Amino acid sequence: MTHVDNEWDVEQQRIAEVRKVIEAKKNQLLRSADSLKGDIIDLRKKFWDDVTVNFDEVDDAVETYASIKQQSELLSERERSHGQYYRSKKLLDRMEDSPYFGRIDFTEDGVAKEAIYIGISSLMNKAEDHFLVYDWRAPVSSMYYDFEPGSAYYETPEGTIEGAIDLKRQFVTENGMLKGMFNTGITIGDSLLQKVLGDQASSQMKSIVATIQKEQNAIIRNESSQLLLVQGVAGSGKTSAAMQRVAYLLYRYRKQMNADQILLFSPNQMFSSYVASVLPELGEEPMQQSTFQEYVSKRLDDEFDLQTPFEQLESSLAAKGSGEESHEKEAVDFKSSASFKMMIDNYLKQLSTHGMRFRNVKFRGEVRIPAERIEEFFYQLDSAMSMANKVDLVKDWLFNQLKHVEREERAKDWPEEEAALLSKEDYLKAFQKLEQNHNFNEETFNDFEKEEKLLKKIIVRRRMASLRKKIANYKFIQMEKVYEGLFNESFPQVKMQPKSWSQISQHTIQNVQKRYLPVEDQTPYLYLQDQLEGRKVNTSIRYVFMDEAQDYSVFQYLYIKEMFPSAQFTLLGDKHQAIYTHNLGGMTILDKQVHNGEAKKMELSRSYRSTRPIVEFTKHLLVDGASIEAFNRDGHLPRLWKVTELEEVKERIIEVIQDRQREGHETIAILCYTLEESKQAYQLVGKQLSATLIYKETQPFQSGVLILPVYFAKGIEFDSVLVYNATRQGYQDDEGRLMLYTACTRAMHELDVLYNEKENSILSEIPKGLYI
Ligand SMILES: Nc1ncnc2c1ncn2[C@@H]1O[C@H](COP(=O)(O)OP(=O)(O)OP(=O)(O)O)[C@@H](O)[C@H]1O
């Protein structure tokens, strides 16, 4: 790497010229935005003027609807463009600060040399006939990430373009002033990367476009794989690559796809808020984001008390060593597996001949359609039909039956009694409704008998509305009983069923009866329900990303996959951070075996987050961490602190954290084994350190001193980390090791570890010299 002082002025001059173009584009953009804003205000004001409102006849109503729809589409299209203008303006603001970060001089075979400048977005000259800056996602820009000076090529939709790079240069620009300029080799600006990684951690993830590494670029630009598995060590840039990949796909398919068609499953909401700013920073709309738990809650929260994955983890961590956990673990492992899904498929076959459970349909406390009749109807349907089709026919049949019920009810006394009690407003509403439906005119309404009949009809209808809704929502199926049926002794056993199946079954039935659903039952329950109700799949999502993929069970993955049949999947994770209970005998969904050979696997083995001393230390916490490489960034050795008495723990933490604050670190975490332990730590030092206890996942990530369990810190990083009690029993087995590794790898710059007794602990395996 050399400084190129003589060319400094030339480059600074070019930056100044490009900035002038940016300035002009910004002005032009603002003018268009202003006129668009005027259009929008106008459209809003006159919305109803251009709509023909007429409900006289069905045809008129349809026309009215179409006209409203057209008008509102016009408005939202303008509003979208307006939003796009502001995003573009922000992008230009950022480009004004730093128009580009890289340059390659490329000579295509047989063509003249071109200097290609690369930035966060493309920019053309005034005449719009020449690129002053290429978007980092443009095909030609890929060479910047993939090649050192010498022969190079890039792929375009038309084919491969070959040639040679004779210069590769990196710029650091602030406020339009050149601050650094380096001619670089293959690794993009070691020194720039050093600088970026040396910065403070922040409560918002940053984009890495200026320093994407070759192996990360391969992930970001992969287009051929239906299923991409990324196994990357802690801090290797998996989440960063995922975010840049979303931005890349949005650029690559900008004509066919928008951000709503990309979905990221994140591990928790704290993580969601952490990554939320990356795409807007790149001038793109953010993709959809959700946690799997949010989806499950939406579906099942009304019916069950749902255990959260954190509660599951907390309870399994607490049970560790008590002897209770092996039976529970067996249950979790089996219910998380593809075998259990197969078992449900077998069960569904059985249900097509017998065993379905229905609910009595009751109205005003009286059984009107008994469950046995529903069952009878169900089982006389053609057994070759799918369960979901049959259930739908039952639904239609029930709606028909309700019509009879309705007629019978109208003949009873109660509607008349209720009609007499109708308030004036209700009466008027009923009148208007009837008028709308053309059921009468003023003359007929004066006809007392007709009026009474119509009112009774409306009253019965209204009272039956909730019943109709329940039927529409398949509540006539006794889902919880159907699920219980899976655990009945009469249901044939399948291979791979755990030894303690009868205990597991008993326990499951008890839970369901108590209306409590542990995590391991939630996805199977939903799967069974979907198979019966024929839930619609989502075909609009084109790309699904699952970060921290090692924490999803095989069952969850298969379920998600079926939910998005048109999507390509990118799974990113780290087997060494698999801290949830359902990782199956060391396998996670990142293993190719789980995917019938249809997956492409990529590995990232270099860690960028932590300093070299921290990476060297943390890799020894793993049995097979030898292949983990550290990015060359200096720092202090991790510090191990022996503490025995509680008072000593307190003093040490306060002393260490205050030191870290004095050193200027802003995000400091005290990481604990469980929430229970976090509360203890908070009791001990929370006040003195003005720390925040993170006790639920919905708390947003913020700077300052945070006290939290390791599992909440997944995917996130801190300037400085203190591990509360590294020699506690829970960390000493194979799973505990992974938790301790996850905890220590959250640290970017400083790592402090408190311990009680080092002998026989994992810490004793770390070579002396890697810590002080
Ligand atoms: N090419 C890069 N340029 C600059 N910074 C990078 C690069 N790759 C990774 N980083 C930085 O390294 C840190 C870790 O990245 P990231 O969180 O994406 O890793 P991860 O593999 O998802 O980690 P984990 O599995 O531990 O959660 C972040 O601060 C990120 O900005």
Residue 82 to residue 78: CA distance in whole angstroms = 6
CB atoms within 10 A of CB 656: 19
Distance (Å) from CA 559 to ligand 1 centroid: 29
For 306-323, what is each residue's pLDDT tens digit? Answer: 999 888 888 877 777 665
Give residue 47's pLDDT: 63
In the numeric block, which tokens belong to residue 488?
Answer: 């009945």
Q: Is 547 exposed, middle or buried (0-12, 13-18, 19+ CB in 10 A)?
A: buried
Q: What is the pTM of this model?
A: 0.86
Pocket of ligand 1 contains residue 574 by CB under 6 Å? yes
Q: Which of 208, 244, 666 to mutate to test the pocket of ligand 1 (most atoms within 8 A of CB)?
A: 208
Q: Which of 609, 615, 671 to mutate to test the pocket of ligand 1 (most atoms within 8 A of CB)?
A: 609
Distance (Å) from CA 726 to ligand 1 centroid: 24
Pocket of ligand 1 contains residue 237 by CB under 6 Å? yes
> Ligand 1 atom closest to Cα of 572?
22
Which residue's alpha carbon is at the smallest distance from atom 9 of ligand 1?
237
In the numeric block, which tokens belong to residue 129?
Answer: 């006939």
Between residues 443 and 40, which one has the greater pLDDT?
40
The band of 598, judged by pLDDT with boundaries at 50, 70 and 90, is confident
Pocket of ligand 1 contains residue 121 by CB under 6 Å? no
736 has binding-site annotation: no
In the numeric block, which tokens belong to residue 679?
Answer: 């509360």
In the numeric block, which tokens belong to residue 372?
Answer: 């046995």
Give residue 2's pLDDT: 47
Helices 448-472, 424-436: crossing angle, 10 deg rounding: 90
Residue 259 to residue 250: CA distance in whole angstroms = 7
Give buried/exposed letters for 89-117 (b at 16+ CB in 10 A, else e).
bebbebbbebbbbbbbebebeeeeeeebb
Distance (Å) from CA 237 to ligand 1 centroid: 3
Q: Which residue has the tokens 């016009």?
A: 74
Residue 588 to residue 582: CA distance in whole angstroms = 9
CB atoms within 10 A of CB 523: 24
Query: Rg of the chain's alpha carbons, rounded to an integer?
Result: 32
Residue 282 to residue 54: CA distance in whole angstroms = 46
Distance (Å) from CA 656 to ligand 1 centroid: 26
Q: Which residues pair with 708 in a beta bridge?
A: 671
For 732-764, what is each residue's pLDDT tens digit? Answer: 888 889 999 999 999 999 999 999 988 778 999
> Ligand 1 atom closest to Cα of 548?
25
> Which has the closest alpha carbon to 599: 222, 49, 91, 324?
222
Give residue 436's pLDDT: 66
CB 547 within 8 A of CB 205: no
273 has binding-site annotation: no
**What would the DSSP string read from start to end of 657-719?**
HHHHHHTT--EEEEEESSHHHHHHHIIIIITTTT-EE--STTSPP-SEEEEEEGGGGTT--EE
Residue 1 has pLDDT above 50, yes or no: no
C-alpha triplet 717, 720, 726: angle, nearest 5° = 95
Which residue's alpha carbon is at the smallest distance from atom 30 of ligand 1?
237
Pocket of ligand 1 contains residue 609 by CB under 6 Å? yes
Residue 76 has pLDDT above 80, yes or no: no
Residue 7 has pLDDT above 90, yes or no: no
For 374-403, what is each residue's pLDDT tens digit? Answer: 999 999 998 888 999 999 999 999 999 999
> Ligand 1 atom closest to Cα of 242?
18
Give residue 126's pLDDT: 85
Q: Is residue 747 classed as helix, strand or coil in its secondary structure?
A: strand
Residue 560 to residue 550: CA distance in whole angstroms = 14
Distance (Å) from CA 116 to ligand 1 centroid: 27
237 has binding-site annotation: yes
236 has binding-site annotation: yes
C-alpha triplet 31, 283, 538: angle, nearest 5° = 120
In the numeric block, which tokens belong to residue 743?
Answer: 């905890």
Residue 503 to residue 498: CA distance in whole angstroms = 10
Residue 439 to residue 433: CA distance in whole angstroms = 9
Between residues 115 and 276, which one has the greater pLDDT?
115
Pocket of ligand 1 contains residue 691 by CB under 6 Å? no
Give residue 53's pLDDT: 62
Percent of the chain with pLDDT over 70: 87
Pocket of ligand 1 contains residue 208 by CB under 6 Å? yes
The two beta strands, 159-174 and 177-183, are: antiparallel
CB 621 within 8 A of CB 744: yes
Distance (Å) from CA 697 to ligand 1 centroid: 22
187 has binding-site annotation: no
Residue 4 has pLDDT above 60, yes or no: no
The band of 417, judged by pLDDT with boundaries at 50, 70 and 90, is confident
Residue 259 to residue 253: CA distance in whole angstroms = 10
As a whole number, the mean pLDDT across the chain is 87
CB 516 within 8 A of CB 549: no
> Which has the closest alpha carbon to 584: 551, 546, 547?
551
Q: Within a 13 Å sphere around the CA of 31, how many CA atoms are in the beta-carbon half?
A: 6
> Ligand 1 atom closest to Cα of 216?
1
User: φ, ψ for residue 518 (rounded to 5)?
Assistant: -70, 160
Give residue 445's pLDDT: 52
Residue 84 has pLDDT above 90, yes or no: no
Pocket of ligand 1 contains residue 196 by CB under 6 Å? yes
Average pLDDT over every residue of 157-178: 92
Residue 635 has pLDDT above 90, yes or no: yes
In the numeric block, which tokens belong to residue 176?
Answer: 């339009």
Between residues 586 and 674, which one has the greater pLDDT?
674
Pocket of ligand 1 contains residue 234 by CB under 6 Å? yes
Average pLDDT over every residue of 88-101: 90
Distance (Å) from CA 669 to ligand 1 centroid: 18
Residue 481 has pLDDT above 50, yes or no: yes
Residue 189 has pLDDT above 60, yes or no: no
Residue 62 has pLDDT above 80, yes or no: no
508 has binding-site annotation: no
Give residue 515's pLDDT: 96
Distance (Å) from CA 608 to ligand 1 centroid: 6
233 has binding-site annotation: yes
Pocket of ligand 1 contains residue 238 by CB under 6 Å? yes
> Ligand 1 atom closest to Cα of 210?
3
In the numeric block, which tokens belong to residue 585?
Answer: 């005998």
Residue 374 to residue 392: CA distance in whole angstroms = 12
Which residue's alpha carbon is at the smallest distance from atom 23 of ligand 1?
235
User: φ, ψ for residue 151 (rounded to 5)?
Assistant: -60, 140
**What would the DSSP string read from start to end of 508-569?**
HHHHHHTTEE-HHHHHHHHHHHHHHHTPPP--S--EEEETTGGGS-HHHHHHHHHH-TT-EE
Residue 602 CA from chain centroid, whole number: 21
Indicate the range of 19-28, 58-67, 258-267, 513-522 predicted with least confidence.
58-67
For 439-476, what is each residue's pLDDT tens digit? Answer: 555 555 555 666 777 788 888 888 889 899 999 999 99
Distance (Å) from CA 156 to ligand 1 centroid: 28
